Amino acid sequence: MPSLREAQKQLTRDTIVERALELFTGKGYAATTIDEIAAAAGTTRVTFYAYYPSRTDLMKDFMARVNAVLDRSSGPGRPSTAAELVDVVCSGELAGILAWIESRAALWPVFRPYLDVLSDAAAVDADVRSMLEAWNEEVISDMVRGMELAGRFPAETWHLRATLAYKQLDYVATLWTRRRLEPNREHAVEVLADSWHHLLCGAGS
């Protein structure tokens, strides 16, 4: 059980992250200053830097929170960061794909705001860009692994198919969470699942 001091430190960290997320979402990553985040969190610039030595460190915490919500594991030498996605692609069943996408869509309001900010940060911070690209590649690699285990399609097409599937998912999620267009989520998920079924499982080919 965490000590009172550890609990207080985590509360401060959570408050900084929450206020930063609000400011980044409202003003944009580049336009938001450390002083603004510290003031919104009810703390000081010195305290902010004690927790996050740089803005990049804050973005690493954003990514860690995305992984926690999605229950994605990490670490060197791991064959997969999301075994469930590998299994869904390998099995190739439309119902399984639909259920997996629906489970992630239900979490869009929780984790997509973090990814949207990370995307904005990547445009001006090379370290964040590398981190986000590596994270995207992990998801794509899970899909590739699923096709590989199923022995489906020529190997030289796996990465392209997985990349296209991931970009479809990211596009629909971004449209929904940023409210530039707010499609019916149920319909969007069904169309997306059908597209994945053809692209990753060869249905109808």
Structure confidence by residue, pLDDT tens digits, 64-82: 999 999 888 665 555 556 7
- CA trace torsion 92, 80, 120, 115 (10° rounding): 70
- At 175 the pLDDT is 80
| Residue spans of alpha helices (H) in the chain | 4-27, 34-40, 45-51, 55-70, 83-91, 94-105, 108-122, 126-150, 158-178, 185-201
Q: What are phi and psi of 2, to 5 degrees?
A: -65, 150
Residue 133 has pLDDT above 90, yes or no: yes
3-class secondary structure, 33: coil
From the list 168, 188, 22, the residue with the least C-alpha distance to 105 is 188
SS3 content of the chain, % helix, strand, coil (to 5): 75, 0, 25
From the list 83, 79, 72, the residue with the least C-alpha distance to 111 is 72
- The model carries a pTM of 0.87
End-to-end CA distance of the chain: 55
CA angle 44, 37, 127 (to 5 degrees): 110
Q: Is the pLDDT of residue 115 over 90?
A: yes
The more confident residue out of 205 and 111 is 111
Q: What is the pLDDT of residue 181?
A: 59
Average pLDDT over residues 20-30: 95
Q: What was the pLDDT predicted at 204?
A: 59
- 114, 66 in Cβ contact below 8 A? yes
Amino acid found at 197 = H
